[in-house]
Structure 1
Amino acid sequence: MSIKNNLLQIKSQLPQNVTLVAVSKTKPVADLMEAYNAGQRIFGENKIQEMTEKWEAMPKDIQWHMIGHVQTNKVKFMGEYVSLIHGVDSLKLLEEINKQAKKHNRIIDCLLQIHIAEEETKFGLNENELEGLLSSTELKSLHNIKIVGLMGMATFTENQNQIKKEFQNLKSIFDKTQSVSIVNCQLSTLSMGMSGDYQLAIECGSTMVRIGSSIFGTRN
Structure 2
Amino acid sequence: MPSIAENIAAIRERIAAAARRAGRNPDAVTLIAVSKTKPVAAIQAAAAAGIQDIGENRVQEALTKLPHSPPDLRWHLIGHLQSNKAKLAAEHFYLIHTVDSLALAQRLNRLAQERGRPQAVLLQVRLGDEATKSGLSPTDLPSAYAAARGLPHIRIQGLMTIPPFCPDPTDARPYFRQLRLLRDALLTDFPGDQLPELSMGMSHDFEVAIEEGATYIRVGTAIFGER
Structure 1 and Structure 2 fold alike (TM over 0.5) = yes
Structure 2 counterpart of 1:115: 126
Distance in 1 between the 2:212 and 2:187 partners? 16
Shift of 1:33: 0.1
Structure 1 counterpart of 2:220: 212
The residue identity in structure 2 corresponding to 1:146 is R
Write the mapping of 1:89-100 to structure 2, written as runs, cut at 5 A. 89-100=100-111
Runs of 4+ aligned residues of structure 1 deviating over 4 Å after TM superposition are 180-183
Amino-acid identity (%): 41
Native 8 Å contact 1:193 1:199 kept in 2: yes
1:155-200 residue CA offsets vs partner (Å, 9 max, x unmatched): 11224454111111111111111345499x6310011100011011
Q: Does residue 1:131 correspond to 2:132, yes or no? A: no
Structure 2 counterpart of 1:166: 175
1:24-81 residue CA offsets vs partner (Å, 9 max, x unmatched): 1110000100001111110000110111121222222110000000001101112222
Cα RMSD over matched residues?
1.8
Q: Which deviates more from structure 2 when the two are superposed, residues 49-58 or residues 23-32? A: 49-58
Distance in 1 between the 2:56 and 2:197 partners? 18
In the alignment, which of 199, 206, 211 is matched to residue 198 of structure 1?
A: 206
The residue identity in structure 2 corresponding to 1:150 is L
Question: What stretches of structure 2 of length at least 5 have no aligned partner?
Answer: 16-25
Distance in 2 between the 1:83 and 1:48 partners? 12
Native 8 Å contact 1:114 1:151 kept in 2: yes
Write the mapping of 1:67-106 to structure 2, written as runs, cut at 5 A. 67-106=78-117
TM-score of the two chains, using structure 2 as the length reference? 0.89
Change (3 A) 1:162 1:13: closer
Change (3 A) 1:160 1:32: closer
TM-score of the two chains, using structure 1 as the length reference? 0.91
Change (3 A) 1:41 1:164: same
User: Which has a greater percent of helix?
Assistant: 2
Question: What stretches of structure 1 of length at least 5 have no aligned partner?
Answer: none
3-state SS, counterpart of residue 36 of structure 1: helix
Distance in 1 between the 2:191 and 2:111 partners? 21
1:110-146 residue CA offsets vs partner (Å, 9 max, x unmatched): 110111124221111122211111222x641x22210
Structure 2 counterpart of 1:12: 13
Equivalences, count: 216
The residue identity in structure 2 corresponding to 1:158 is P
Structure 1 counterpart of 2:162: 153
The residue identity in structure 1 corresponding to 2:141 is L
